[in-house]
Structure 1
Amino acid sequence: MNENRKLAGKKRQEYDAKVKKQVAGYALVGLRRSDYAGVFQKINDHDQIAWLAEIKLDGFQRSLFVKLCSARDKDGNIRRRGMLQGLHVKPERRSFDLIDIPDGGERFQGIIELQDARLIINVIPASTGRDRRIYLCHLEVVRSDA
């Protein structure tokens, strides 16, 4: 009897792992390439300045949106946060912290860990032809099976 329970438990774990992998695969439907880009636009979000970039996907004619905002924490340090919208994953996996990239400039990076993939969001400053400063959003999809 105990053998049957162990076998049933093992089968259930294998099935759960398979389902989680399928759900993660469904969430990434439309992300066929490994790199995507967008340009951040300044928006007002609940009386707070935020930045929003639209990333057009190459599958199923849909878009992802990356929203960034910053606020001071209780110690007075600036904390930069991001939120990915349009990807069907759990809410706690949609938000991310941005960290400074130490190579200079105002470059930041955030990472979202998924079941079988990692989404790396890079914020890169750039200049336009009229010396206007813009920020680019580079989304990199790193799949674990690749």
Structure 2
Amino acid sequence: MNKNRNLTGRKRQEHNEKFKAQFTDYALAGLRKSDYAGVFQKIKDGDQTAWLAEIKLDGFQRSLFVKIWGSRDKAGNICRLGLLQGLHLKPERRSFNPVAIPDGGEQFQGIIELQDARLIINVLPASTGSDRRIYLCHLEVVRSDA
């Protein structure tokens, strides 16, 4: 009886792992290249200020949106939060914490780990021809070779 239960449990686990991999493939189907970029625009989100970048995809004629905003913790320190919108992912997989890159000035990076892929979101400062400061959003898709 235990042998049948163990076999059934292993088959269920294998099926779940296969389903998760297929779900990731489906969610990332519109991302055919490994690099995408957008420009952050300042927006008003309720009573706070946020930054939103639209990333046009080359597949399925749709866009992704990356939103970054800050909040203060109990000690008064600024915490940056990020959200990726436009992919069919579970809610807990869409958020990320942009972390300052050491010696990177105003550069930040956030990572979203998926079953067989990793989405790396970089926030990079840039200057325009008129010396206006803008922030670029670089999205890198790193797929596993499995």
Q: What is the TM-score with the length of structure 2 in the denominator?
A: 0.96
Count of aligned pairs between the two proteins: 146
Match of 1:108 in 2: 108
Structure 2, unaligned runs of 5 or more: none
CA distance in 1, matches of 2:55, 2:79: 24
CA distance in 2, matches of 1:45, 1:4: 54
Match of 1:27 in 2: 27
3-state SS of 1:145 partner: coil
1:78-117 CA distances to partner (integer Å, 9 max, x unpaired)? 1011000001111011111111011232000001111111
CA distance in 2, matches of 1:34, 1:132: 29
CA RMSD in angstroms comes to 1.0
Partner letter of residue 53 of structure 1?
A: A
CA distance in 2, matches of 1:26, 1:100: 31
Structure 1, unaligned runs of 5 or more: none
Match of 2:72 in 1: 72
Task: Work out whether 1:88 is the aligned partner of 2:105.
Answer: no
Match of 1:36 in 2: 36
Match of 1:57 in 2: 57
Identity %: 77
Partner letter of residue 123 of structure 2?
A: V
3-state SS of 1:43 partner: strand
Q: What is the TM-score with the length of structure 1 in the denominator?
A: 0.96
3-state SS of 1:112 partner: strand
